Amino acid sequence: MRSLGREFIIIAILVCLGMGFSLATGRSPLPWAAPEIGPGEIRLIDAKALDLIWVDARNEEDFAKAHIPEAILLNEENWDTGLINLMEAWLSIPRPMVIYCADASCGTSKKIAERLREALPEAEIYTLKGGWESWE
């Protein structure tokens, strides 16, 4: 039994050395400094696991170039028509909504999310961390 205990200790030491190597070479970020997601945000990988409604908060031109499949265009300029389209999709099958804008630095998705939360207080609404850039 003592030799088995020794085996476990050796494995623990080797794992610690490996972790040290990953941290020292920069392969791994510091676990305690892992970036947190903000309130109301969702990561792309989590969003992909859900059946949801994508809402594109970028401008019409960017939306026309490319967008997430079946995403609904909703921004300040087309608020009324976009909201009607979104309501139709949501009322037919109520699902969480994920709003995205161009990238992590854009704030449009958060503004649209705030307006939507006021308009649809019962809806589950998130903003996509990293925006369209993370999808690309």
Partner 1 sequence: MGMRQRLPIISLIARLVLAGVFVTAALPKIQDPVAFGQSIIAYRLIEGDLVGWTALALPWLELICAIGLLMPWLKRASAIWIAGLLLVFITLHASAWARGLDIDCGCFGESDGSGINYSLSILRNTALLAAVSYLIWLDFAQKSPLKLKT
Q: In 3D, which of 108, 96, 105, 113 has the Cα closest to residue 133?
A: 105
Residue 104 contacts partner 1 per CB under 8 A? no
Q: Which residue has the tokens 């161009």?
A: 102
**Minimum distance between the CB of residue 37 and partner 1, rounded to whole angstroms?**
9
Residue 30 contacts partner 1 per CB under 8 A? yes
> In this chain, which stretch among 40-48, 59-67, 109-117, 119-127 interacts with partner 1, using CB under 8 A?
40-48
**Minimum distance between the CB of residue 115 and partner 1, rounded to whole angstroms?**
28
**For the chain, how big is the Rg over CA atoms in Å?**
22
CB 40 within 8 A of CB 124: no
H-assigned helices in the chain: 2-24, 44-48, 60-65, 79-92, 108-119, 131-135
Nearer residue to partner 1 within complex by CB, 4 or 118? 4
Size of the site for partner 1 (CB under 8 A): 24
Name the residues that contact partner 1, by CB under 8 A: 4, 7-8, 10-11, 14-15, 18-19, 22-23, 27-32, 34, 36, 43, 45-46, 48-49
